[in-house]
Amino acid sequence: MHLRTQPRQAAALTVGVLALVFLAACSGQYPNSTFNPTTEFNRESTSLWNTLLGWGTIVFIIVEAILIYTIWKYRRRPGVPVEADPKMLHGNTTLEIVWTVLPALILAIIAVPTVRAIFRTQAAAPANALKVDVIGHQWWWEFKYPDYNITTANELYLPIGRPVAFSLRTVDVIHSFWIPQLGGKRDVVSNRTNYLWFTPDSAEYTVYNGSCNEYCGASHANMRFRVFTVPAENFEQWAAHQRTPAMIQAPAAAPAGGTPAPNTPATATAQPNAAANQPPAAPPPTPAVGSYVFPRDRVPAYAIPATPLPPDVSFPENLVGDIERGRAKYSSSACIACHKIEGNPMSVGVTGPSLTHVGSRLTIGAGLFPNDPRHMALWIKNARKMKPLQFSSMPTLGKGEYDPVMKTVINVGGLTDQEIADIVAYLQALK
Ligand code: CUA
């Protein structure tokens, strides 16, 4: 008897050890995990998950115990004729009632915490919540802060500890808004506004990844965003600066040379109302006192895009752009039909992301590439090779470049490398 059960014990031990190994594998650092107690939303869903997993485990153990006991009890024994069939139970009313009622009862019990979690997460947002309008586009995210008169793209700043109430809609197809570490997900649906709120009360001073989670076309997987959870005072500084018109923050004065450290919050004195469109000779204005951008040295590695570049895009390494030439070229190019830059009266398009403070953003291309001059130049030159796009999206702008959507080489209206470098210098200066 004991000898016979040993292989089974060994099998059970193996399964147990494997299960432990799998569980241990879940304890690592997973930056896109939902099991994060950063908001009441995530605590609610994590608690529901743990409850249901616990109950499911109990049901599993009972069912498996009955199964194993039955297999063992009715196994073939020496001396018992093989042809003797076990007793048939077809039509046993008691048994059939039991195995119908029991699962129904279990489902009814599971419904209690589930429905409670649904009601809690669907409740009206607190009155003091920060309002954020989320608008899905193929393929990028537009964010508006109506109380602050801010429009931005693909980057959300949220104050730690204050409830945030999202109102979600789309201008085209269905998308789905999700920041796994904070809460969601919620569909972004045509002809209907959905709502979602949570409080990043236990969020760290860090960056979280967000993404689209409903298939929405060729670049569904390239529709990402970043969420910067920052102390309340930093959020107010950021918001105060974002609502001002674009201001050119020129590279540091001559002796310093080079480009300004992108991670340094600009603190120079300024005239916030001095817009970018001054006479070229005027000294460029600088951002307002106390303006805030999330410090680059705090950005965790998982939030920095590492999307590989396609092999057939390139841009000359040493080309130096000129901000003023770039502003002039930008203001007379096709860019202005789709992009808005507050403070540049020529740039009033609304179908593309607002570029008012694009130089202060961490990423471009809806979170696909880091926001640096090289990637921005490559993007302007060949966006449609860097990310599957469509007829109405960011076009190929490099002169002589092949446009995979139009299936043609761009000549008329195309930008030379020098013109692109100039426009990049201008856009990168819009801090
Ligand atoms: Cu938007 Cu998937």
DSSP for 197-229, please give it.
EE--TT--SEEEEEEE-S--STTGGG-EEEEEE
Min mean pLDDT across 10-24, 93-107, 151-165, 381-395 is at 10-24
Q: Is the pLDDT of residue 259 over 70?
A: no
Q: How confident is the model at residue 31 (pLDDT cuts 50, 70, 90)?
A: confident
What are phi and psi for residue 182, nearest 5 degrees? -115, -40
Q: Output the residue whose Cα is nearest ligand 1's atom 1.
A: 175
- In whole angstroms, give the CA distance from residue 332 to residue 326: 10
For the CA of 174, the closest atom of ligand 1 is 1
Ligand 1 center from residue 110 Cα (angstroms) = 31
- The per-residue pLDDT for 27 is 55
Ligand 1 center from residue 113 Cα (angstroms) = 30
- In whole angstroms, give the CA distance from residue 31 to residue 198: 19
Structure tokens at 107: 């489902």
Mean predicted lDDT score pLDDT of the chain: 86
Min mean pLDDT across 88-97, 136-145, 218-227, 348-357 is at 88-97
Residue 216 beta carbon below 6 angstroms from any ligand 1 atom: yes
Q: Is the pLDDT of residue 180 over 80?
A: yes
Ligand 1 center from residue 175 Cα (angstroms) = 4
Ligand 1 center from residue 214 Cα (angstroms) = 5
The mean pLDDT of 406-414, rounded to a whole number, is 90
The mean pLDDT of 104-116, rounded to a whole number, is 94
- In whole angstroms, give the CA distance from residue 408 to residue 402: 6
- The per-residue pLDDT for 177 is 97
The mean pLDDT of 198-219, rounded to a whole number, is 95
The H or E element spanning position 403 is strand 402-403
Q: How confident is the model at residue 250 (pLDDT cuts 50, 70, 90)?
A: low
Residue 214 beta carbon below 6 angstroms from any ligand 1 atom: yes
- The per-residue pLDDT for 249 is 73
Helices (H) and strands (E) in the chain, counts: 8, 14
DSSP β-bridge partners for residue 159: 230
- In whole angstroms, give the CA distance from residue 31 to residue 303: 9
* Residues in contact with 72: Cβ distance below 8 Å, sequence separation at least 6, in sequence order: none
* Residues in contact with 139: Cβ distance below 8 Å, sequence separation at least 6, in sequence order: 212, 216, 217, 218, 219, 220, 222, 223, 366, 387, 389, 393
- The per-residue pLDDT for 26 is 57
What are phi and psi for residue 98, nearest 5 degrees? -60, -50
Length of the chain in residues, anyone?
A: 431
Task: Give the position of tokens 């499911």.
Answer: 56
- In whole angstroms, give the CA distance from residue 421 to residue 431: 17
DSSP string, 298-353: GS-GGGS--PPPPTT----TTPPP-HHHHHHHHHTSTHHHH-B-TT-TT-B--SS-
- The per-residue pLDDT for 226 is 97
Residue 212 beta carbon below 6 angstroms from any ligand 1 atom: yes
